[in-house]
Amino acid sequence: MKIHKEGRRILFVTLLVLLALNLLLSRYNGPNVVFNRIFAGVSVVAFLTLLQFFRSPFRRLLTHEDLLLAPADGKVVVIEEVFESEYFEDARRQISVFMSPINVHITRNPVSGIVRYFKYHPGKYLLAWHPKSSTDNERTTVVVESDAGPLVLFRQIAGAMARRIVWYVNEGDEVSQGEEFGFIKFGSRVDVFVPLDADIKVTLGQKVKGGETVLCQLKG
């Protein structure tokens, strides 16, 4: 396992601040040993929590052109037929993966293909499971023409804690299944929209791993 590039600066600054605070307490609050030890313990826990958030574990990626992989680690919170109004303007099957603060927050390409559409939307920071978060929150929308043929749309959606979305793709890019397409800092969700005839392979409440778990099979 390694530390993701999006977290290295944050971790370095946090480590310096915590070390400085503990040194100051040790020097100027010496008689209050119990408080200093509690603060030191809290500092260690806080840093380790931040460290695990930015972890980038090794993944043995499963790739196949007609399989759509989970774009992120988390739990499946939505599987339903919806009207997708931004790009397709027709009915699609939506699969949503909620990422808690303890999940890996790398987002991965669910399919290989060509990026046909990309747009960043500034917006609100509603709770990630709020019904309107998919359309009202800060988000990115990516549409990929998959190697299997069907177009697949997926969104990074910011939540109440997530205040920054990072993306690494643009229109016209060729993307590979399982590779990183972005990062969401501090908890959120990813929505995927697939054709209605896609064969869904997951269930509500199921925990999934980005780049490993198959969400559905596309009909070529």
> Which residues are catalytic, by number?
188
Widest distance between CA atoms in the chain: 72
C-alpha distances (whole Å) from 60 to each of 76, 90, 132, 217 are 21, 35, 34, 19
C-alpha distances (whole Å) from 84 to each of 48, 50, 69, 77, 192 are 40, 35, 20, 18, 11
Consecutive H or E run containing 83: strand 74-84
Please say whether the beta carbons of 163 and 130 come within 8 A.
Answer: no
- Determine the Cα–Cα distance for residues 43 and 144; give it in Å rounded to an integer: 43
C-alpha distances (whole Å) from 183 to each of 52, 73, 97, 115 are 14, 12, 14, 17
Tokens of 82: 């919806």
Crossing angle, helix 5-28 and helix 33-53, to 10 degrees? 180
Consecutive H or E run containing 135: helix 133-136
Please say whether the beta carbons of 216 and 95 come within 8 A.
Answer: yes
